[in-house]
Amino acid sequence: MEQHSQSKAELEPLDQPGLLRAFSGLQSKATILVVALTMTVTVAVSGYLLRTTAATARTQQELQMIEVASLISRASAGMMYKRDAKGLVDLAEELANGSPLLFVVFADIKGHVLAKGEHTHISSTAVVLQHREQDRASIGQPIHYAGDGVHPSFFRIDYPVTWRGISDGRDVAQLVGYARIGMSVEEWERTISGTMDMLSGVGVIAVAVAIPIGFLLVRRLIKPLQLLAGSMQSFSEGKLDVRSNVKSLDEIGDLALTFNRMADQHQRTHRRLVKLNAELEERVSKRTRQLRELASREPLTGLYNRRHFNEVLDRAFSEALRYEGDLACIMIDLDEFKKVNDQLGHQAGDGVLLCAATTIRSQLRGADLAARYGGDEFVVLLPQTNTDRAYVLAERIGGRFAEEMAHHDPPLSTGMSMGIASLTGLKSRTPDELVRAADRALYRAKAEGKNCIASANLTPHLDS
């Protein structure tokens, strides 16, 4: 019992509300978050600055090397053009004895070494190995070689040597060889190393300073940030009319104002996108209808093709059966059409087909459908039409077409033979049977003198 009381007494200080709040409150958590964020940003920025500094220093080194190589190229152009071996050797040795050049090699356009000069502390074996590399893709671009403990780190560049002069009264430029140059980078590497050490120290100091500053600022920052975060959360959930009420005159207020402006812009953009999307859908729908219409049309006459006719026939036939209506079909064939093609040519035949299609279309109602069935055959589908009314329409079409052919230059004897069938009286009630019945009536009209009309239940009738 005494031991239990002692354990309880030892745990009692840890259960104080103030202590718990100090370590688990929002301010402490936010402070830890700020410090962690500061550390993360500091590390990221330091890393970026390190990479940027190293890249900038290397770029400057490479530009300096290219500039030096260009100067050496111009200085040696005349001697290489004249094949002045002694002058090239003297120039190479003079340049290589200076700093920071480690070696200078002059080679002809085939890569054969003409002269070279090497710094005293550079192994001639290492220089020769570098001389034997042939990488034409790297001409004019510095290449970095890391040190191996024996040979120092250096940059190498192969630079073209071009002689410019006057030949036959004209300025000419001629590639006469290459200058291969090695430049020490030890000083550059020491500078980069020192910069890295300095940035690391700055990063550590920045993190150390951020801890107390972050703790002092969290209490003031936490409330407006929460309000702003709540507005952003609502906005992200699709409530585009939500705006932040934070009015402070600090960076949080600027952030809230920026958010509100962004929300306004986003809402306007959203409205425009919704409108544009509706317009685009309408355009796509309209274009789809146009393409569907074009795909269902026969190009010469502009009438519907046989495939589209069969699709409409199935629907119209089903509707006629469902609502106990009638449906008529007229099959039309042009008489003596082959004679027109043979005597006047296919262009005249196309004109007759186009005239027949125009005539048929001009006599139809909005609900009727005309299609080119094949060759010189046409088919007309008449919803809610019986045989007698279809017969009257067929007479109008045939008469109108006869008038057009009489006015043709030259006049043509081409006429129309037509067969009519309707849903009423069909023994087998299928769409194909309706078309076949009209087709059989057409053949009967052709057999009984042409240029006439026949139906499944009427006698042939001459148009004359």
Place of tokens 């999307």: 277
Other CB atoms within 10 A of residue 199 CB: 17
Would you tell me how many other CB atoms lie within 10 Å of the CB of residue 351? Answer: 15
Residue 440 C-alpha from the chain's centroid = 57
Q: How crowded is residue 337: how many other Cβ atoms within 10 Å of its Cβ?
A: 19
**For residue 362, what is the enclosing H or E element?**
helix 346-362
Residues carrying an active site annotation: 376
* Side chain identity, residue 463: D
- Measured between alpha carbons, how far is 374 from 303 in angstroms, rounded to an integer? 11
| Dihedral over Cα of 12, 16, 21, 22: its sign | negative
What separation in angstroms does the CA of 177 have from each of 183, 318, 417, 454? 20, 89, 92, 98
Report helix, strand or coil for 276. Answer: helix
Q: Tokens representing 394?
A: 């067929």
Task: Please state, in angstroms and rounded to a whole number, the distance separating the CA atoms of residues 323 and 319.
Answer: 6
Nearest Cα residue to 305 out of 369, 384, 349, 367 = 369
Q: How far apart are CA 155 and CA 145, in angstroms?
A: 6
Q: Which of 256, 98, 106 is nearest to 183 (CA)?
A: 98
Work out the burial of residue 55: count CB atoms within 10 Å of its CB; fewer than 13 is exposed, 13-18 middle, 19 or more buried: exposed
Residue 304's region, left for phi above 0, alpha for psi from -120 to 50, else beta, is beta
Of the chain, the end-to-end C-alpha distance in Å amounts to 130
For 43, residues 6+ apart whose C-beta sits below 8 A from its C-beta are 203
Which of 341, 340, 344, 330 has the alpha carbon at shortest distance from 383?
330
